[in-house]
Amino acid sequence: MFSKILIANRGEIAVRIIRACKEMGIATVAVYSEADLDSLHAALAEERYCIGPAAAEDSYLNPRRILSAALISGAQAIHPGYGFLSENADFARECRRNGIVFIGPEPELMERLGDKTEMKRLVEGTSLRPIPGTGVLRDMTDALARGEELGYPLMLKARSGGGGRGIRLLQNAEDLCQAWPLAVAECASAFGDGALYLEKYIWPARHIEVQVLADEQGNAVCLGERDCSVQRRHQTLIEESPSPGVSRKQREALMAGVREAVQKIGYTGVGTMEFLLDKAGNFWFMEMNVRLQVEHPVTEMLTMLDLVKWQIRTAAGIPLRFRQEQIVMEGSAMECRINALAPGRLGMLHVPGGHFVRFDTYLVQGVEVSPYYDPLVGKLIVYARSREEAVRKLKAALCELVIEGIPTNIEEQLRIISGEPFMRGSYDLTLMEGR
């Protein structure tokens, strides 16, 4: 096991990883920007290093500065969290060259899985069905020709990255001509890769993702599915597990297919396979995320397994201590993402309590919520023995959560979970249309 880990991230996920390391007896190293001088993650770690100005490209996205901090501190491994450099194969390769373990897949595999068109080829021969689409398009002329072959409506997507960047809905060839240069520029800026591809538009649908955990010895387990269908502009607001739209029979077949694909690929660590579930009950494979997900606490609450600890253990070569049949998934877990609607300084903070109520955050009284980074300030997670009780518990927790001095989306989250579609569990990706 590692004795010291550097966390190459900030905010609530850095706090989450540091706490897991402390429980495992692992010393931690924090890196922080000048804007995060007084941040909670920097205060909690045993060592901390300033890596640059507030702008992410000069700090949290600067591999050289992060590696320098790791080498100076003597860290044996780097945990990237999610976002920033978590899916950067070049960074993972530099870690390896410097004798530091990158807590994630090998860079060569990360490159292959990060290419969404290549990922679809990798699952060929398994029971997973990729969404019909193209490979990487050469240019707009190629895109127009392939678009006519597939038939509209279509989705224009980025080969690399995520977070909804570069995604455009195309109803016709005119839409494609307008969207192409904008999507190329957006993806080149966000990911350093302007490559795009086309995919059939499956609508309406649920967005379902399956959590996997695998070790170097070839053992793999699926930890159920999460429903991430409450989205605005491809950004998830609420997640729950299990999905109210997936039957036990569907779940078993889906998890068997995912395990088969993960073992075929030779994946190690935590990862997530994402699907669209159409109205006919078909699961269409989209992509695989090769990192810890924002919504991982939902799965942790449902299975009572600590995914961060197991991510660290598998990166250290430790085999899983359990098999698929030993995974218990009973009850219901839900998560609301609490976002700041504007930067500001936190006044009063009151965190709800109770049995199986969890709030992952970096907020402390007086902290400045910076305009430089993602607006996520916390995640409110609950677990109960039934979905109905979980909804009631989540409502009560949202009503009790107080964040003063910073405008947030707490009231909107209450409206969503109090609405009839969510209460019934009958919602899909159309829920937030027009909102």
Tens of pLDDT, residue by residue over 395-416, are: 999 999 999 999 999 999 999 9
What integer pLDDT is reported at residue 433 of this predicted model?
Answer: 87
pLDDT, mean over the chain: 96
Instruction: Give the list of residues 6+ apart from residue 56 with CB closer than 8 angstroms, or none.
Output: 33, 84, 372, 373
The residue ranking higher by pLDDT, 41 or 194, is 41
pLDDT of amino acid 114:
84
Give me the pLDDT at residue 209, please.
98
Mark whether 291 is an active-site residue.
Answer: yes
DSSP states of 234-284 as a string? TEEEEEEES-TT--HHHHHHHHHHHHHHHHHHT--EEEEEEEEEETTS-EE
- Contact (Cβ atoms closer than 8 angstroms) between residue 354 and residue 361: no
**Residue from 205, 210, 113, 93 nearest 162 by CA:** 113
Alpha helices in 25-106 (DSSP H): 40-44, 63-73, 89-97
Instruction: Dump pLDDT digits (tens) for 374-387.
Output: 999 999 999 999 99
- What pLDDT digit, counting tens, does each position of 23-64 carry? 999 999 999 999 999 999 999 999 999 999 999 999 999 999
From 291, 313, 337, 358, active-site residue: 291
Percent above pLDDT 70 for the chain:
99
Name the segment(s) of the chain with CATH classification 3.40.50.20.
4-103
CATH architecture under which domain 205-424 falls: 2-Layer Sandwich (3.30)
pLDDT of 309 over the 90 cut: yes
CB 299 within 8 A of CB 333: yes
Least confident among 164-168, 241-245, 306-310, 344-348: 164-168
pLDDT at 339 over 90: yes
Q: In what order do the strands lie in the sheet with 283-289?
A: 283-289, 269-278, 205-214, 220-232, 235-241, 332-339, 376-384, 357-361
What per-residue confidence (pLDDT) applies to 166?
85
C-alpha of 187 from chain center? 18
Share of residues in the chain with pLDDT > 90 (%) = 92
Mean pLDDT (whole number) for 11-29: 98
Specify the pLDDT at position 63.
Answer: 97
Q: Where in the chain is the domain with CATH 3.30.1490.20?
A: 132-200
Task: Indicate the pTM of the whole model.
Answer: 0.94
- From residue 50, alpha-carbon distances to 21, 37, 195, 367, 371 in Å are 21, 8, 34, 18, 19
What confidence score (pLDDT) does residue 29 get?
98
Q: Assess whether pLDDT exceeds 80 at residue 164.
A: no
Q: What is the pLDDT of residues 248-268, one digit of tens each?
A: 999 999 999 999 999 999 999
What is the DSSP track for 288-329?
A: EE-S--TTHHHHHHHH---HHHHHHHHHTTPPPS--GGG---
Residues in Cβ contact with 30 at an 8 Å cutoff, skipping those fewer than 6 apart: 6, 7, 14, 18, 41, 42, 44, 45, 47, 48, 49
- DSSP structural state of residue 375: S
**Phi (first) and psi of residue 96, to 5 degrees:** -65, -40
* CATH of region 132-200, choose from 3.30.1490.20, 3.40.640.10, 3.40.630.10, 3.90.105.10: 3.30.1490.20
CATH of 4-103, one of 3.40.50.1000, 3.10.580.10, 3.40.50.20, 3.90.190.20: 3.40.50.20
Residue 276 has pLDDT above 80, yes or no: yes
Would you state the pLDDT for residue 124? 86
What does the block give as tokens for 100?
């530091």
